[in-house]
Amino acid sequence: MYMKSKYIFLKKIYKEFVIVFKSKNHYQLYGNDILILKYFKIKNIINTLEYYNINYIILDNFDIIKKKVFDNNRYNELLYKYIVIELIRSSYEEI
């Protein structure tokens, strides 16, 4: 719950960024950030974010390890696509 609280706080500051928390051996994502990456077959989160030009921040506690900003950030575009696809999928399930 502590990490999710951090995520909610940081998301208010960095709205168009994927916020990645670094744990011992892996990365953790929360909220909409998970939904955006749900489309991709992820082997490496960071390579995927860079390939699709999505702004991201890697944090270890509140220390920013890496912050990548793209001029053509696709965060909102991919989030909207996810929402539309889920709406269409749920409407077909109701039929």
**pLDDT block averages, 10 residues each, the chain of length 95:** 84 93 87 80 82 92 91 91 86 74
Structural domain boundaries in the chain? 2-94
Residue 69's pLDDT is 96
Q: Tell me the sheet residues that pair with 21.
A: 28, 59
Q: What is the DSSP string of the chain?
A: -HHHHHHHHHHHH-TTSEEEEE-SSSEE--THHHHHHTTS--S-HHHHHHHTT--EEEEETTEEEEEE--TT--HHHHHHHHHHHHHHHHHHHH-
As a dihedral over the C-alpha atoms of residue 8, residue 10, residue 82, residue 67, rounded to 10 degrees, the angle is -160
